[in-house]
Structure 1
């Protein structure tokens, strides 16, 4: 039986939050509570919600009292606040903290130095320090980009609405990617057996694919040849860093492409824990069905 019973979820909205919340709620072994900002206008339904002032350490400590684990899926605006959450969790006696990683291979030296991951790297470093002091345990999950969401909104360089593809570094670089549902299942799996994954960075993926493989699927199911533009992730990094130097953060997210397809950035995970977590890898037919559904 897992030592984790009471789970607090921070960041239940956004692109990933609902999938993780649904997975947690579906597990009868967990008592799930969502932490919401006091000024939140759309708290989730069907789950206990506690509000707090995120700038108040006392408020956060009070919210975390009695919780065994805190799961953070906060988006970009909240990444820099995670150390405050960690401090409050420690004082409240929380056993485990899962930070909002859920993306690129930030343990890779090259990826970890990309500005877009700075706050995530800082949070994990902080957690490792606190874990080494015996104050709290952590489990970080890296899953690559969200496969289904990324294809739906065009984040992976494939725009189904306009039949256009932007291929990076040739488009044939293999990368790991995971569906939202499988990420949620991964969170449940590590919390169900936390001692096995204690103070580790865990890698998981639904599949390893390439942009060109995905493009082939889209062209098959749309019945037309797409317009293709090719770009270099090295150029993307250079252009983005130039903007950052001028205080322009509008394209910082594009550095994620460097982490996915740049040589030596670890976009293809080598040591995944799918079997231990019970996460099924998608077959070619599964991916075909996923793409087909987006083309209808």
Structure 2
């Protein structure tokens, strides 16, 4: 697994004329060297086609974003530790999208929420973008439990939230080895035989969903008030992903070291690793739930998927894996 970065950046979007919503996006790199889910150019295009006139980006790492964004981006800097700085940035903003790494939840998120409430922000998309926090098992995990208070605080302050649920990110998880398919070293460990189906989403699609969700007409957006919104690129399994990886990499079973492990055992091992102070145990705990089968894995079996409402593309697994491994 790659190391988690705690660097934080802020992005704001303005919509004109006044009857269109004004957006403010907070973005943090999830993993050093990777894109965050609302950083992709496709997301900026989606926002601009929905009456976004210009993008205001507030950050601490100015040089990187100047290189990563286009000429329509106005870059400003903000200090998370100064409430007045955040309030100044959020003044006139109607909606806030927060995307933070685990290390910044909930402290940084609370700072943004408090400032948002003080300046009249109406909607917040808090840091979800992963497993189904509406599921009891997922909600009990450390990574999800800290989010409960965040959602409650948003409501206490009179704002509304919508939680975008996507399952694990296909491209990020594959590159990080979280699916237990180690492409560089040709090793795979199947969980529960590798056959349980689970939902997964490309990172770009997660960002696109966020952009299209928050720019829905107010009447349609209201339907998602204080609710989770479910999207997915694929319903697949470890073995299906592995077959696509082999095809893309022109390999066969003979080229790989293949092992298996029971999901319950893997999850218990993950908990023990976490108890020892090693955060890498979270991979086993979280992805064990994602890939063991049942509603923690296949949320579309029990939830309504909003892909059509948000106009998300129909995606091909092999093409997604080819792009992820390029």
- So what's the TM-score if we normalise by structure 2? 0.79
Counterpart in 2 of 1:233? Answer: 263
Counterpart in 2 of 1:137? Answer: 160
Task: Note closer, same or farther for the CA distance 1:92–1:294 as it changes in structure 2 (3 Å cut).
Answer: closer
**Which of 239, 248, 257 is equivalent to 1:212?**
239
Show the 5 A alignment for 1:192-271: 192-193=215-216, 194-221=221-248, 222-225=250-253, 226-270=256-300, 271=304
- So what's the TM-score if we normalise by structure 1? 0.87
RMSD: 2.5
**Which of 87, 100, 108 is equivalent to 1:61?**
87
Distance in 1 (alpha carbons) for counterparts of 2:189 and 2:234: 20
Distance in 1 (alpha carbons) for counterparts of 2:143 and 2:283: 6
The number of residue pairs the alignment matches comes to 288
Task: Note closer, same or farther for the CA distance 1:208–1:263 as it changes in structure 2 (3 Å cut).
Answer: closer
Counterpart in 2 of 1:74? Answer: 100
Distance in 2 (alpha carbons) for counterparts of 1:2 and 1:229: 58
Counterpart in 2 of 1:9? Answer: 25
Counterpart in 1 of 2:5? Answer: none
Distance in 2 (alpha carbons) for counterparts of 1:168 and 1:182: 26
Please state whether the residue corresponding to 2:194 is helix, strand or coil: coil
**Which of 142, 157, 160 is equivalent to 1:115?**
142
Q: Deviations over 1:179-211 (max 9, x none)?
A: 122112111211121334222210000110000
Q: Deviations over 1:129-169 (max 9, x none)?
A: 44xxxx21111100011112222332222122222112112
Please state whether the residue corresponding to 2:299 is helix, strand or coil: coil
4+ aligned runs moved over 6 Å, structure 1? none
**TM-aligned CA deviation for residue 109 of structure 1:** 0.4
Any conservation in 1 of the 2:198–2:293 contact (CA below 8 Å)? no
Distance in 2 (alpha carbons) for counterparts of 1:66 and 1:32: 14
Distance in 1 (alpha carbons) for counterparts of 2:146 and 2:277: 17
Please state whether the residue corresponding to 1:205 is helix, strand or coil: coil
**TM-aligned CA deviation for residue 97 of structure 1:** 0.8
Counterpart in 2 of 1:42? Answer: 64
Distance in 1 (alpha carbons) for counterparts of 2:263 and 2:18: 43
Task: Note closer, same or farther for the CA distance 1:206–1:105 as it changes in structure 2 (3 Å cut).
Answer: same
Any conservation in 2 of the 1:233–1:257 contact (CA below 8 Å)? no
Moved more, 185-194 or 205-214: 185-194
Counterpart in 2 of 1:291? Answer: 321
Task: Note closer, same or farther for the CA distance 1:242–1:294 as it changes in structure 2 (3 Å cut).
Answer: closer
Counterpart in 1 of 2:192? Answer: 169
Structure 1 segments unaligned to the other structure (5+ residues): none
Any conservation in 2 of the 1:168–1:230 contact (CA below 8 Å)? yes
Show the 5 A alignment for 1:143-162: 143-162=166-185
Q: Deviations over 1:18-62 (max 9, x none)?
A: 64453442132124322313x766344432233222122222112
Matched, 1:25 2:25: no
Distance in 2 (alpha carbons) for counterparts of 1:168 and 1:125: 35
Distance in 2 (alpha carbons) for counterparts of 1:35 and 1:100: 18
Distance in 2 (alpha carbons) for counterparts of 1:22 and 1:195: 27
Any conservation in 2 of the 1:2–1:192 contact (CA below 8 Å)? no
Counterpart in 2 of 1:94? Answer: 121
